[in-house]
Protein backbone atom coordinates (compact mmCIF):
# COMPACT_ATOMS: atom_id res chain seq x y z
CA UNK A 1 0.00 0.00 0.00
CA UNK A 2 0.85 3.66 -0.24
CA UNK A 3 -0.29 5.32 2.98
CA UNK A 4 -0.61 9.03 3.75
CA UNK A 5 0.15 9.68 7.42
CA UNK A 6 -0.84 13.15 8.61
CA UNK A 7 1.09 14.49 11.59
CA UNK A 8 3.87 12.03 10.85
CA UNK A 9 6.56 14.20 12.45
CA UNK A 10 4.75 14.09 15.79
CA UNK A 11 5.22 11.63 18.61
CA UNK A 12 2.70 8.95 17.64
CA UNK A 13 2.84 9.69 13.91
CA UNK A 14 6.60 9.18 13.74
CA UNK A 15 6.23 5.87 15.62
CA UNK A 16 3.65 4.75 13.07
CA UNK A 17 5.92 5.67 10.17
CA UNK A 18 8.93 3.94 11.69
CA UNK A 19 6.83 0.83 12.25
CA UNK A 20 5.53 0.75 8.67
CA UNK A 21 8.88 1.41 6.98
CA UNK A 22 10.82 -0.98 9.22
CA UNK A 23 8.30 -3.87 9.34
CA UNK A 24 6.31 -3.83 6.07
CA UNK A 25 6.78 -3.26 2.34
CA UNK A 26 4.34 -0.34 2.29
CA UNK A 27 5.23 3.22 1.29
CA UNK A 28 4.49 6.29 3.41
CA UNK A 29 3.82 9.91 2.51
CA UNK A 30 4.25 12.02 5.65
CA UNK A 31 2.13 15.19 5.66
CA UNK A 32 3.08 17.53 8.49
CA UNK A 33 2.90 21.29 8.98
CA UNK A 34 5.89 21.14 11.35
CA UNK A 35 4.47 23.12 14.23
CA UNK A 36 6.44 23.19 17.49
CA UNK A 37 5.60 19.51 18.13
CA UNK A 38 6.71 18.27 14.70
CA UNK A 39 10.26 16.96 14.72
CA UNK A 40 11.80 15.39 11.63
CA UNK A 41 14.74 14.20 13.72
CA UNK A 42 12.34 11.56 15.08
CA UNK A 43 12.37 10.05 11.57
CA UNK A 44 16.12 10.04 11.04
CA UNK A 45 16.17 6.23 10.90
CA UNK A 46 13.84 6.12 7.87
CA UNK A 47 14.15 9.47 6.10
CA UNK A 48 16.51 8.16 3.39
CA UNK A 49 14.35 5.11 2.66
CA UNK A 50 12.99 5.11 -0.89
CA UNK A 51 9.53 4.15 0.46
CA UNK A 52 9.33 7.31 2.59
CA UNK A 53 8.35 10.79 1.36
CA UNK A 54 7.81 14.02 3.30
CA UNK A 55 5.47 16.89 2.37
CA UNK A 56 5.41 20.01 4.56
CA UNK A 57 1.71 20.79 4.24
CA UNK A 58 -0.95 22.21 6.57
CA UNK A 59 -4.04 19.96 6.58
CA UNK A 60 -6.16 23.13 6.43
CA UNK A 61 -4.62 23.92 3.00
CA UNK A 62 -7.04 22.30 0.59
CA UNK A 63 -5.10 23.13 -2.54
CA UNK A 64 -1.86 21.66 -1.20
CA UNK A 65 -3.63 18.53 0.07
CA UNK A 66 -5.29 18.03 -3.32
CA UNK A 67 -1.91 18.24 -5.03
CA UNK A 68 -0.41 15.61 -2.71
CA UNK A 69 -3.34 13.23 -3.26
CA UNK A 70 -3.16 13.65 -7.03
CA UNK A 71 0.61 13.14 -7.14
CA UNK A 72 0.93 10.26 -4.69
CA UNK A 73 -2.36 8.37 -5.27
CA UNK A 74 -2.67 6.86 -1.77
CA UNK A 75 -4.47 3.64 -0.90
CA UNK A 76 -5.16 4.73 2.67
CA UNK A 77 -5.05 7.69 5.04
CA UNK A 78 -3.93 7.53 8.66
CA UNK A 79 -4.98 10.85 10.15
CA UNK A 80 -2.94 11.72 13.25
CA UNK A 81 -2.34 15.46 12.72
CA UNK A 82 -3.75 17.33 15.73
CA UNK A 83 -3.02 19.90 18.35
CA UNK A 84 -2.93 17.72 21.44
CA UNK A 85 -1.68 19.43 24.60
CA UNK A 86 -4.52 20.10 27.06
CA UNK A 87 -2.76 22.98 28.86
CA UNK A 88 -2.16 24.78 25.56
CA UNK A 89 -5.84 24.33 24.62
CA UNK A 90 -6.88 25.97 27.88
CA UNK A 91 -4.55 28.93 27.30
CA UNK A 92 -5.48 29.40 23.62
CA UNK A 93 -8.10 27.17 22.00
CA UNK A 94 -8.15 28.77 18.53
CA UNK A 95 -5.41 26.57 17.03
CA UNK A 96 -7.19 23.46 18.32
CA UNK A 97 -10.43 24.41 16.59
CA UNK A 98 -8.59 25.23 13.39
CA UNK A 99 -6.40 22.14 13.16
CA UNK A 100 -8.58 19.50 14.78
CA UNK A 101 -11.93 20.56 13.31
CA UNK A 102 -11.27 22.63 10.18
CA UNK A 103 -8.23 20.54 9.27
CA UNK A 104 -10.11 17.26 9.65
CA UNK A 105 -13.01 18.63 7.59
CA UNK A 106 -10.62 19.74 4.84
CA UNK A 107 -8.84 16.39 4.79
CA UNK A 108 -12.15 14.52 4.66
CA UNK A 109 -13.33 16.58 1.70
CA UNK A 110 -10.10 16.13 -0.24
CA UNK A 111 -10.08 12.41 0.54
CA UNK A 112 -13.73 12.05 -0.47
CA UNK A 113 -13.21 13.78 -3.81
CA UNK A 114 -10.12 11.68 -4.50
CA UNK A 115 -11.92 8.47 -3.46
CA UNK A 116 -14.79 9.23 -5.84
CA UNK A 117 -12.37 9.26 -8.78
CA UNK A 118 -10.95 5.79 -8.08
CA UNK A 119 -11.81 2.69 -10.12
CA UNK A 120 -14.26 0.36 -8.34
CA UNK A 121 -11.65 -2.11 -7.10
CA UNK A 122 -9.34 0.59 -5.69
CA UNK A 123 -12.32 2.43 -4.26
CA UNK A 124 -13.38 -0.66 -2.31
CA UNK A 125 -9.90 -1.03 -0.78
CA UNK A 126 -9.48 2.62 0.27
CA UNK A 127 -9.47 3.45 4.01
CA UNK A 128 -9.66 6.67 6.01
CA UNK A 129 -8.35 5.87 9.50
CA UNK A 130 -8.94 8.64 12.02
CA UNK A 131 -6.83 8.46 15.19
CA UNK A 132 -8.43 9.94 18.31
CA UNK A 133 -8.18 9.88 22.09
CA UNK A 134 -9.99 8.46 25.12
CA UNK A 135 -10.33 12.03 26.41
CA UNK A 136 -13.44 12.49 24.22
CA UNK A 137 -15.30 10.32 26.76
CA UNK A 138 -14.66 12.69 29.68
CA UNK A 139 -13.72 10.92 32.89
CA UNK A 140 -14.88 7.91 34.88
CA UNK A 141 -16.48 8.21 38.32
CA UNK A 142 -16.02 4.68 39.62
CA UNK A 143 -12.80 2.74 40.12
CA UNK A 144 -13.98 -0.24 38.04
CA UNK A 145 -15.69 1.43 35.06
CA UNK A 146 -14.00 1.40 31.66
CA UNK A 147 -14.44 3.35 28.44
CA UNK A 148 -16.00 1.18 25.73
CA UNK A 149 -16.61 2.01 22.09
CA UNK A 150 -20.21 2.91 23.01
CA UNK A 151 -19.41 5.21 25.94
CA UNK A 152 -21.18 8.58 25.40
CA UNK A 153 -18.95 11.55 24.60
CA UNK A 154 -18.48 14.11 27.40
CA UNK A 155 -15.27 16.05 26.67
CA UNK A 156 -13.92 18.31 29.41
CA UNK A 157 -11.26 20.51 27.75
CA UNK A 158 -11.07 22.54 24.54
CA UNK A 159 -8.63 19.90 23.27
CA UNK A 160 -10.91 16.93 23.91
CA UNK A 161 -13.94 18.83 22.62
CA UNK A 162 -12.14 19.57 19.36
CA UNK A 163 -11.15 15.90 19.03
CA UNK A 164 -14.72 14.81 19.79
CA UNK A 165 -15.92 17.15 17.05
CA UNK A 166 -13.43 15.68 14.58
CA UNK A 167 -14.64 12.16 15.45
CA UNK A 168 -18.22 13.23 14.70
CA UNK A 169 -17.17 14.69 11.35
CA UNK A 170 -15.45 11.46 10.33
CA UNK A 171 -18.47 9.34 11.26
CA UNK A 172 -20.78 11.73 9.40
CA UNK A 173 -18.65 11.53 6.23
CA UNK A 174 -18.79 7.76 6.52
CA UNK A 175 -22.55 7.62 6.91
CA UNK A 176 -23.55 10.42 4.54
CA UNK A 177 -21.05 9.93 1.74
CA UNK A 178 -20.10 6.28 2.21
CA UNK A 179 -16.43 7.10 2.77
CA UNK A 180 -14.81 3.93 4.19
CA UNK A 181 -13.76 5.08 7.66
CA UNK A 182 -12.09 3.57 10.71
CA UNK A 183 -11.76 5.23 14.13
CA UNK A 184 -9.50 4.47 17.06
CA UNK A 185 -9.49 6.04 20.52
CA UNK A 186 -6.32 5.51 22.54
CA UNK A 187 -5.22 6.00 26.13
CA UNK A 188 -2.19 8.05 27.23
CA UNK A 189 0.87 7.23 25.12
CA UNK A 190 4.48 7.29 26.32
CA UNK A 191 7.84 6.16 25.00
CA UNK A 192 10.80 7.34 22.86
CA UNK A 193 10.65 10.68 21.01
CA UNK A 194 7.91 12.07 23.27
CA UNK A 195 7.81 15.88 23.22
CA UNK A 196 9.19 17.17 26.56
CA UNK A 197 6.09 19.18 27.53
CA UNK A 198 4.25 15.91 28.31
CA UNK A 199 4.32 14.41 31.82
CA UNK A 200 6.78 11.50 31.50
CA UNK A 201 9.54 13.15 29.43
CA UNK A 202 9.07 16.40 31.36
CA UNK A 203 9.69 14.58 34.64
CA UNK A 204 12.72 12.69 33.28
CA UNK A 205 14.43 15.77 31.89
CA UNK A 206 13.60 18.04 34.84
CA UNK A 207 14.98 15.43 37.24
CA UNK A 208 18.22 15.14 35.25
CA UNK A 209 18.59 18.92 35.48
CA UNK A 210 17.69 19.16 39.17
CA UNK A 211 14.49 21.10 38.45
CA UNK A 212 11.13 20.74 40.23
CA UNK A 213 8.89 17.87 39.14
CA UNK A 214 5.45 19.53 39.00
CA UNK A 215 2.44 17.35 39.82
CA UNK A 216 -1.10 18.72 39.42
CA UNK A 217 -3.28 18.77 42.55
CA UNK A 218 -2.59 15.76 44.78
CA UNK A 219 -1.43 13.59 41.88
CA UNK A 220 -4.22 11.03 42.26
CA UNK A 221 -5.50 11.39 38.70
CA UNK A 222 -5.47 7.96 37.04
CA UNK A 223 -4.41 7.28 33.44
CA UNK A 224 -4.09 4.10 31.39
CA UNK A 225 -0.57 4.16 29.90
CA UNK A 226 0.08 2.76 26.41
CA UNK A 227 3.61 2.29 25.06
CA UNK A 228 3.79 4.16 21.77
CA UNK A 229 5.23 1.26 19.76
CA UNK A 230 2.34 -0.95 20.93
CA UNK A 231 0.00 1.78 19.74
CA UNK A 232 1.70 1.97 16.33
CA UNK A 233 1.22 -1.79 15.90
CA UNK A 234 -2.43 -1.46 16.87
CA UNK A 235 -3.07 1.35 14.40
CA UNK A 236 -1.54 -0.59 11.53
CA UNK A 237 -3.54 -3.67 12.55
CA UNK A 238 -6.77 -1.66 12.44
CA UNK A 239 -5.86 -0.21 9.05
CA UNK A 240 -5.28 -3.70 7.60
CA UNK A 241 -8.06 -5.66 9.28
CA UNK A 242 -10.57 -3.24 10.81
CA UNK A 243 -14.18 -3.32 9.61
CA UNK A 244 -15.36 -0.20 7.78
CA UNK A 245 -17.29 2.17 10.03
CA UNK A 246 -16.10 0.54 13.26
CA UNK A 247 -14.40 2.12 16.27
CA UNK A 248 -11.65 0.37 18.24
CA UNK A 249 -10.45 1.46 21.67
CA UNK A 250 -6.72 0.94 22.24
CA UNK A 251 -5.36 0.78 25.79
CA UNK A 252 -2.30 -0.45 27.59
CA UNK A 253 -4.01 -2.21 30.55
CA UNK A 254 -1.74 -0.07 32.75
CA UNK A 255 -3.70 2.21 35.09
CA UNK A 256 -1.47 4.35 37.28
CA UNK A 257 -1.91 7.46 39.42
CA UNK A 258 0.14 10.39 38.15
CA UNK A 259 2.06 10.62 41.43
CA UNK A 260 2.96 6.93 41.19
CA UNK A 261 4.22 7.40 37.62
CA UNK A 262 6.47 10.22 38.80
CA UNK A 263 7.79 8.14 41.71
CA UNK A 264 8.56 5.17 39.44
CA UNK A 265 10.56 7.46 37.15
CA UNK A 266 12.48 8.78 40.16
CA UNK A 267 13.26 5.24 41.30
CA UNK A 268 14.51 4.24 37.85
CA UNK A 269 16.70 7.32 37.67
CA UNK A 270 18.22 6.46 41.07
CA UNK A 271 19.30 3.18 39.48
CA UNK A 272 20.15 4.30 35.94
CA UNK A 273 21.44 7.85 36.57
CA UNK A 274 22.86 7.77 40.12
CA UNK A 275 25.11 10.79 39.48
CA UNK A 276 22.70 13.59 40.31
CA UNK A 277 22.85 17.38 40.03
CA UNK A 278 24.62 18.94 43.01
CA UNK A 279 21.39 20.25 44.55
CA UNK A 280 19.69 16.83 44.58
CA UNK A 281 19.96 14.20 47.31
CA UNK A 282 17.07 12.06 46.02
CA UNK A 283 15.14 12.59 42.79
CA UNK A 284 11.85 12.25 44.69
CA UNK A 285 12.79 15.35 46.72
CA UNK A 286 12.15 17.36 43.52
CA UNK A 287 8.43 16.47 43.45
CA UNK A 288 6.38 19.67 43.77
CA UNK A 289 2.58 19.76 43.95
CA UNK A 290 1.07 22.63 41.94
CA UNK A 291 -2.42 24.08 41.48
CA UNK A 292 -4.63 21.66 39.59
CA UNK A 293 -5.54 22.19 35.92
CA UNK A 294 -9.06 23.63 35.33
CA UNK A 295 -11.57 20.88 34.51
CA UNK A 296 -8.98 18.17 35.13
CA UNK A 297 -10.40 14.69 34.47
CA UNK A 298 -9.88 12.31 37.39
CA UNK A 299 -9.68 8.90 35.74
CA UNK A 300 -9.38 7.43 32.24
CA UNK A 301 -9.38 3.69 31.61
CA UNK A 302 -9.87 1.79 28.35
CA UNK A 303 -11.68 -1.45 27.69
CA UNK A 304 -9.55 -2.78 24.81
CA UNK A 305 -11.25 -6.17 24.60
CA UNK A 306 -12.83 -5.49 21.19
CA UNK A 307 -9.57 -4.99 19.31
CA UNK A 308 -8.07 -8.01 21.07
CA UNK A 309 -11.00 -10.33 20.34
CA UNK A 310 -11.71 -9.15 16.79
CA UNK A 311 -8.27 -8.21 15.46
CA UNK A 312 -5.89 -10.14 17.71
CA UNK A 313 -3.95 -7.13 19.03
CA UNK A 314 -2.70 -6.88 22.60
CA UNK A 315 0.05 -4.70 24.10
CA UNK A 316 3.47 -6.33 24.39
CA UNK A 317 4.79 -3.94 27.05
CA UNK A 318 3.78 -3.81 30.68
CA UNK A 319 4.09 -0.41 32.33
CA UNK A 320 7.19 -1.65 34.16
CA UNK A 321 8.96 -2.76 30.96
CA UNK A 322 7.81 0.22 28.91
CA UNK A 323 8.75 2.89 31.44
CA UNK A 324 12.21 1.35 31.89
CA UNK A 325 12.74 1.38 28.11
CA UNK A 326 11.56 5.00 28.01
CA UNK A 327 13.89 6.23 30.75
CA UNK A 328 16.80 4.35 29.16
CA UNK A 329 16.00 5.89 25.77
CA UNK A 330 16.13 9.46 27.15
CA UNK A 331 19.40 8.72 28.92
CA UNK A 332 20.90 7.31 25.70
CA UNK A 333 19.53 9.91 23.26
CA UNK A 334 20.55 13.23 24.76
CA UNK A 335 21.17 14.84 21.37
CA UNK A 336 17.52 14.41 20.34
CA UNK A 337 16.05 16.06 23.42
CA UNK A 338 18.76 18.71 23.70
CA UNK A 339 17.83 19.85 20.18
CA UNK A 340 14.21 20.10 21.32
CA UNK A 341 15.07 22.06 24.47
CA UNK A 342 17.34 24.53 22.65
CA UNK A 343 14.99 24.87 19.65
CA UNK A 344 17.57 23.79 17.07
CA UNK A 345 15.35 20.90 15.90
CA UNK A 346 13.12 23.56 14.29
CA UNK A 347 15.76 25.98 13.11
CA UNK A 348 17.63 23.26 11.27
CA UNK A 349 14.51 22.51 9.23
CA UNK A 350 13.72 26.12 8.43
CA UNK A 351 10.81 26.25 10.83
CA UNK A 352 10.27 29.31 12.95
CA UNK A 353 11.03 28.69 16.62
CA UNK A 354 8.03 29.52 18.82
Q: Is 177 a catalytic residue?
A: no
State how far the Cα of 333 lies from the Cα of 142, in Å rounded to an integer.
39
Q: Which of these is catalytic: 134, 167, 255, 317?
A: 134
In whole angstroms, how far apart are CA 8 and each of 45, 79, 101, 130?
Answer: 14, 9, 18, 13
DSSP states along 40-72: GGGGTTTTT-TTEEEEE--TT-HHHHHHHHHHH
Alpha helical stretches, state H, 86-218: 86-91, 94-96, 104-116, 120-125, 158-177, 199-208
Q: Is 135 a catalytic residue?
A: yes
DSSP states along 71-116: HH--SEEEE------HHHHHH--HHHIIIIIIIHHHHHHHHHHHHH
Q: Which of these is catalytic: 36, 114, 137, 159?
A: 159
| CB 283 within 8 Å of CB 270 | yes
> Which residues face 52 on adjacent strands?
28
Q: Which of these is catalytic: 32, 135, 255, 317?
A: 135
Q: Is 134 a catalytic residue?
A: yes
The full length of the chain comes to: 354
Active site residues: 134-135, 159
Amino acid sequence: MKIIVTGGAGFIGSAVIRHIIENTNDSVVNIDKLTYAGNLESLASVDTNERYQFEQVDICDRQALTRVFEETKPDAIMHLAAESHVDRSIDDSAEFIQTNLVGTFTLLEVARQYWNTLPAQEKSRFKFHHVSTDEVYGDLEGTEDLFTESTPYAPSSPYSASKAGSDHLVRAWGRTYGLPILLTNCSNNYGPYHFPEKLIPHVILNALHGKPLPVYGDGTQVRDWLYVEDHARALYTVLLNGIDGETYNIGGHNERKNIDVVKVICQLLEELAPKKPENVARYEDLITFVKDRPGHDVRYAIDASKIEKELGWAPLETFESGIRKTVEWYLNNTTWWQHVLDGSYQQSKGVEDK
